[in-house]
Chains A and B, each alone.
Chain A
Amino acid sequence: MSDAGPGDVGEPSSDAQGTTRAILNLDRLVHEPARLAILTVLAEAEEVEFRFLESVTGLTKGNISSHMAKLEAAGYVTVTKRFKGRVPSTSYSITDAGRAALRAYRAALAQLMRG
């Protein structure tokens, strides 16, 4: 039989509280699936053109632009705009801060998964 009294029922254990705290502490900017995908792609290259992000993530132009604006505001990515002949081309690079945020997010997630 359990020793726990009625008052103990429903109170989270310290483990559960820790897990909740860890989840709440995840960087929400990185945690959003589309932004996580974008940062993952950028982390594998020096510079990535908009077209490629569109191709591999399946996100719409508007979606990518709005996520990029947030990532740029946080200092996680930099944007380069240039012309290829007469066609404008936009490319993105991950910054050191972006790389560190992605690394920290992965580490936090891995720790959570380990329990």
Chain B
Amino acid sequence: MTQARPAFSGDVGRLAELTRRYARFSVSAGGLGSALGGALVLVAYFVGALVPDLSTGGRLGLAATPLVWIVVKELLRSRYYQRFGRVEEARPVFDRRLHLGLTLFTALVSAGIVVTVLARQWPLQWEAGTVGYLAYVAAMPLLVWQFMRTPLEFIAGVFLVAQAALVLAGGSYRLWEQPQAPIGGLALLVVGVSQHLEFLRLERELKSLRGSQG
């Protein structure tokens, strides 16, 4: 026979603090997902700029980086960082508005690029590179809204998507052309690793809390 657990007897202040810290990993803290994004930005930036004659495989590899990042980071978020149960972070109004603003800005720029390309190249040659380029540019606002929720994720993610689009169309950014990308990528890498270490501490605290409550 299992013994009934007693009513809650813990410290509600600590409970509130642990919940708040854990909830961050549902939206604003990406942990290893962020670190991966930062690393991919650095790879995409320097390979794109320093290797002028990329093979088709290399180009496809670079073009896949945003999708790989998004899939891995979302899997990590749901399967690893939220494995005690999903707790959706209550984000401050400023963060929500900033995210909305960045999405709208991206939508405006994307629409401008798509319209310009279509107008210049009409009637459009349905080449795979052009279609891939337009598809990535058109999808960018949706990707920003859904998966790039913090300013650093925005900088890194938009660069990865833009670089992927350019690479598909046969080009790539030159060195120093997008200086915010390696800076943002490096920052995301450092922040991601530090968030992961914070998660490991939090995990230990959550486990000890469970242990102490039987």
A positions within 8 Å CB-CB of B:
32-34, 36-37, 40-41, 43-60, 63, 89, 91
B5 cross-chain contacts in A, Cβ below 8 A? 58-60, 63
Nearest 6 pairs between A and B by C-beta? A58-B213, A52-B85, A51-B85, A49-B85, A44-B19, A46-B88
B23 cross-chain contacts in A, Cβ below 8 A? 44-46
B209 cross-chain contacts in A, Cβ below 8 A? 55-56, 58
Flag if A33 contacts B8 (CB, 8 Å). Answer: yes
A43 cross-chain contacts in B, Cβ below 8 A? 16
B12 cross-chain contacts in A, Cβ below 8 A? 36-37, 40
How far is B214's CA from A55's CA once the two chains are assembled, in angstroms?
10
- Which residue from chain B places its CB closest to the CB of A37 in the assembled complex? B8
Q: Does B84 contact A (CB under 8 A)?
A: yes
Among residues 8 to 44 in chain B, which have CB atoms less than 8 Å away from a CB atom of chain A? 8-10, 12, 15-16, 18-20, 22-23
- Which residue from chain A places its CB closest to the CB of B212 in the assembled complex? A58
- Which residue from chain A places its CB closest to the CB of B24 in the assembled complex? A45
A44-B8 in contact given A49-B85, A55-B206, A91-B86 (Cβ < 8 Å): no
B22 cross-chain contacts in A, Cβ below 8 A? 52
How far is B88's CA from A46's CA once the two chains are assembled, in angstroms?
5
B87 cross-chain contacts in A, Cβ below 8 A? 45, 47-49, 52
Q: Shortest beta-carbon distance, B128 to chain A, in Å?
A: 34
B213 cross-chain contacts in A, Cβ below 8 A? 57-58
Chain B window 84-95, contacts with chain A (Cβ cutoff 8 Å), 1 for yes, 0 for no = 111111110000
Flag if A52 contacts B84 (CB, 8 Å). Answer: yes
Q: Does B7 contact A (CB under 8 A)?
A: yes
Q: Does B119 contact A (CB under 8 A)?
A: no
Flag if B85 contacts A50 (CB, 8 Å). Answer: yes
B120 cross-chain contacts in A, Cβ below 8 A? none
